[in-house]
Chain A
Amino acid sequence: DAGVIQSPRHEVTEMGQEVTLRCKPISGHDYLFWYRQTMMRGLELLIYFNNNVPIDDSGMPEDRFSAKMPNASFSTLKIQPSEPRDSAVYFCASSNGGAGRDTQYFGPGTRLTVL
């Protein structure tokens, strides 16, 4: 199994530009999570989906952030317009099961730098 796949691995962009991060979850997993990790705030949940439907987006910091899951094998996290404070590592994770204790498998992350 290839695990959770994220692209790009690194992204450098300028303030005001649109950024799109991509995620392919593990096949058969019905939950998908987007996290952000910074030195200051640690690892924070932004949004999660169940069977492609957004369940809880209370962690999304602002309207500049949006996430979609058009099908079971693909999700995007978009930031428009981007700001320097969005610089962080963004992780996608997936899990299989209805209980939160089921293991969440994390991707390698996308390191975003906004200049």
Chain B
Amino acid sequence: QKEVEQDPGPLSVPEGAIVSLNCTYSNSAFQYFMWYRQYSRKGPELLMYTYSSGNKEDGRFTAQVDKSSKYISLFIRDSQPSDSATYLCATLRGAQKLVFGQGTRLTINP
């Protein structure tokens, strides 16, 4: 079993829709959870991170962690074509090692 599971999609939605991206993880000891965004032919960039359970909001983006179900979510409100990218969830194993999900390819159609 992979430590972090993510549906690779692809996911295609119309502009303005609310997008929900999800991951599950296997180790209840994980405490830090991140979302990276990767545009085509570019390196990943950190979008948001959360610690333990709860929500974190940054503009149109909300990250949510439910430790009881080992579930990580990213919500994008009022989605824009510029949000089209691959979104990778990640968690921290140990002090420095990021473990990534497969990534979900998202397309926002104008």
Task: Report how far A56 CA is from B32 CA in the complex, Å.
Answer: 20
Chain A, Cβ-Cβ closest to B2: A42
What range describes how many residues of B lie at the interface?
Answer: 20 to 34
| B36 CB to nearest A CB, Å | 8
Complex contact B43–A45 (CB within 8 A): no
Is there a chain B Cβ closer than 8 Å to A113's Cβ? Answer: no
The answer to whether B51 touches A101, judged by C-beta atoms less than 8 angstroms apart, is yes
A42 touches B100 (CB 8 A): yes
A31 touches B44 (CB 8 A): no
Knowing A100-B94, A101-B32, A101-B49 touch, does A109 contact B43 (C-beta < 8 A)?
A: yes
8 Å CB contact of B43 from A42, A48, A50, A108: A108
Query: Do A42 and B103 touch (CB < 8 A)?
Result: yes
Contact string, B28-70, partner A, CB cutoff 8 A, digits 1/0? 0000101000000111111001010000000000000000000
Interface contact B32-A100, CB-CB below 8 Å: yes
Chain B neighbourhood of A99, CB < 8 A: 95
Interface residues of A in 31-62 (CB under 8 A from B): 31, 33, 42-45, 48, 50, 55-56
Residues of A within 8 A of B (CB): 4, 31, 33, 42-45, 48, 50, 55-56, 91, 93, 98-101, 103-109
Chain B residues within CB distance 8 Å of chain A: 32, 34, 41-46, 49, 51, 88, 92, 94-103
